[in-house]
């Protein structure tokens, strides 16, 4: 399992989300409070952030080191500010290798993507079938062996076909659950909006207050005790920007309990 978050709002330091809150992403790497499987997320982590005054594509950092041991990046995080941030810590699903290419966020063009969950049977026929469903254009962009990258490729195929991001997440979630069980909390952002699903794992939103003053935070679990954090109902797809959060039901609201 994993923990992930996405932020949109006034520029803020990476450290203000990754390290400083009482339930920061770093703390969630060794002591998550809402995680349903596994006690730690020690198999690497990653963060991406946008500065569209420089380029439309986000910058990205990933490592296979546990987040709490990655002391060098913390000093970088204190001075890098961004108006849009996506980050995740990883607990790899065996037998996935512990390598940086297996860590979210995964990137393509302006998009960053993360999976909090897994697909049951991905190492067998289920995974083979899903890989065959990916277009050649998107398949050649897959670097590693994770179910996350295959899901991202399927989402990108839907976007290429003209679906909205929320529709793309909904379609891919339904496509997977028609083949297998799993936990499919997907997270997608282009630096202007955030899209996320709740399918087997927790998800919370915070808007216009605290860490999300004049903005929005979408996260696997709250980063602090702000009463503004709102749990997203299971079987939902979230569309969020700095001004509003919309929650709609998924077409196939399955997923493991």
Known catalytic membership, residue 199? no
Asked whether 125 and 72 are in contact (CB, 8 A), the reply is no
Task: For residue 136, give both structure tokens.
Answer: 């050649």
Cα–Cα distance between 119 and 181 in angstroms, integer? Answer: 6
Q: What sign does the dihedral 82-21-77-96 (CA atoms) show?
A: negative
Residue 257 exposed, middle or buried by CB count within 10 Å (0-12, 13-18, 19+): exposed
Q: Which of 2, 88, 134, 206 is catalytic?
A: 2
Residue 86 bridge partners (DSSP): 6, 48
Strand runs (DSSP E) across the chain, as ranges?
A: 2-13, 45-49, 59-63, 81-90, 106-108, 111-119, 182-189, 194-198, 204-207, 216-219, 230-231, 236-240, 245-249
Q: Which residues does the annotation mark as catalytic? A: 2
């Amino acid at each position: 399992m994993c923990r992930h978050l996405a932020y949109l709002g006034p520029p803020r330091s990476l450290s203000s989300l990754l390290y400083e809150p009482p339930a920061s992403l770093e703390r969630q790497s060794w002591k998550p409070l809402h995680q349903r499987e596994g006690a730690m997320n020690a198999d690497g982590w990653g963060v991406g952030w946008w500065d569209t005054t420089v380029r439309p594509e986000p910058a990205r950092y990933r490592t296979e080191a546990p987040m709490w041991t990655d002391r060098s990046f913390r000093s970088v995080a204190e001075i890098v500010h961004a108006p849009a941030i996506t980050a995740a810590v990883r607990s790899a699903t065996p037998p996935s290798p512990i390598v940086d290419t297996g860590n979210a966020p995964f990137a393509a063009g302006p998009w960053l993507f993360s999976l909090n969950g897994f697909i049951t049977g991905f190492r067998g026929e289920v995974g083979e079938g899903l890989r065959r469903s990916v277009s050649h254009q998107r398949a050649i962009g897959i670097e590693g062996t994770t179910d996350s990258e295959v899901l991202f490729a399927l989402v990108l195929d839907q976007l290429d076909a003209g679906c909205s991001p929320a529709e793309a997440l909904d379609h891919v979630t339904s496509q997977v659950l028609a083949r297998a069980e799993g936990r499919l909390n997907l997270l997608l952002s282009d630096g202007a909006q955030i899209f996320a699903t709740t399918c087997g794992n927790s998800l919370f939103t915070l808007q216009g207050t605290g860490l999300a003053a004049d903005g929005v935070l979408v996260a696997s679990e709250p980063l602090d005790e702000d009463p503004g954090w709102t749990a997203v109902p299971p079987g939902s797809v979230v569309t969020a920007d700095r001004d509003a959060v919309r929650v709609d039901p998924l077409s196939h609201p399955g997923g493991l309990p």
